[in-house]
Amino acid sequence: MIDFKEIASITLILFSVIDILGSIPVIIDLRQKAGSIDVGRATLVSGGLMIAFLYLGKEILKLFGVDVASFAVAGALILFLIGLEMILGRTIFRHDTTHSRATSIVPIAFPIIAGAGTMTTILSLKSAYQEINIIIGILLNLVFIYLVLRSSGWLERQLGVAGTDVLRKIFGLILIAISIKLVRNNF
């Protein structure tokens, strides 16, 4: 049964975990490296991953013999490396400028949008809320994600080169801190 209070709670919880606004510098950085991002594809793939994980998450992890904590640590490692890229200005993940479709999936759809934190949150939400309300909460977040991804070029122009560089360094450090927190919380 649809419950608007549940939907509001789920939407806000996922919004804070996904933190698409905090990912804007990462998205701008990846867009500069790849040339462009397929916004629709990134949104659809991340939504598909979240909904698939809602129904099959624990079973998929069990199939591979992976627990939720190990999954979170693996996602944290990827976030750590992306943060290092942003701070040091070095390329760790090679981004082929002719394959913006691949960049739209890794690392944007996974792990930035539908990463370990989002997946473990969805598993937690499943134990407390009705599935239909979780799906609606995911869909509402996907609309916002699409709008942010679509406006990343405009945001980059507003910030300018210096503003983008400063944000990239700050959010690179924040990504590293988040990754360390994920590792600490899962050991």
What pLDDT, in 10s, does the model give residues 32-55?
A: 888 888 999 999 999 999 999 999
User: Distances in Å between the alpha carbon of 81 and those of 25, 100, 102, 144, 176?
Assistant: 15, 20, 18, 26, 8
In a domain, residue 32? The reply is: yes
In a domain, residue 29? The reply is: yes
Please tell me which residue, 142 or 174, carries the higher pLDDT value: 142
What pLDDT, in 10s, does the model give residues 100-142?
A: 567 778 889 988 899 887 888 898 788 889 999 999 999 999 9
Q: State if pTM tops 0.85.
A: no
- What is the rounded CA–CA span in Å between residue 117 and residue 187? 15
In a domain, residue 55? The reply is: yes
Range of lowest pLDDT (8-22, 119-133, 167-181): 167-181
In a domain, residue 187? The reply is: no
Domain that holds residue 166: 4-182
Would you say 73 and 185 are in contact if contact means Cβ atoms under 8 Å apart? no
By the 10 Å C-beta count (0-12 exposed, 13-18 middle, 19+ buried), 96 is classed as exposed
Tally of structural domains, the chain: 1
